[in-house]
Amino acid sequence: MNQDANCIFCRIVRGEIPSNKLHEDENVLAFHDVRPQAPVHFLIIPKEHVATLYDAGTAQQHAFGRMLVLAGELARKAGATDGFRTIINTGKVGHQEVYHVHMHVLGGPEPLGSMLQRKK
């Protein structure tokens, strides 16, 4: 599996940096965001290092599909039962900070707003 020695999310996958995990399987990991922007805010990542959606290909189809399939199940478990937002930021214009693909899942009573506005 492709890994990047210095990538913070690869380091979380390897257990070198602690995370508050929601789910782990062979291909993906889900953990709570360290700076939550909503009452429920977690990230789902592929375990393999893929920097951005620009770098995605058929090799990532399974892991990326798994990320989407897990979103609702994990959102419900985390307490977001009335809906949620999914966001994948890509590149500079997309305000991507961590260059390892991750899907934000934001829910709870007030999941709107801050995530889209905080960097404007």
Residues at the contact surface with ligand AMP, assessed by CB under 6 A? 8, 17, 19, 31, 33-35, 89, 95-98
- State in angstroms the smallest separation of the CB of 44 from ligand AMP: 12
Q: Residues 56-64: contacts with CB within 8 Å, 24+ apart?
A: 56/101, 62/27, 63/27, 63/28, 64/101
Of 30 and 63, which CB lies nearer to ligand AMP in the complex structure?
A: 30
39: which DSSP letter?
S
- State in angstroms the smallest separation of the CB of 40 from ligand AMP: 13
Secondary structure percentages of the chain, helix, strand, coil, to 5: 30, 20, 50
Q: Confirm whether 49 is a catalytic residue.
A: no
Of 26 and 97, which CB lies nearer to ligand AMP in the complex structure?
A: 97
Of 17 and 112, which CB lies nearer to ligand AMP in the complex structure?
A: 17
- State in angstroms the smallest separation of the CB of 37 from ligand AMP: 7
Q: Are the C-beta atoms of residues 102 and 44 closer than 8 Å to each other?
A: yes
Handedness of CA 27, 89, 72, 58 (dihedral sign): negative
Q: Which residues are catalytic?
A: 102
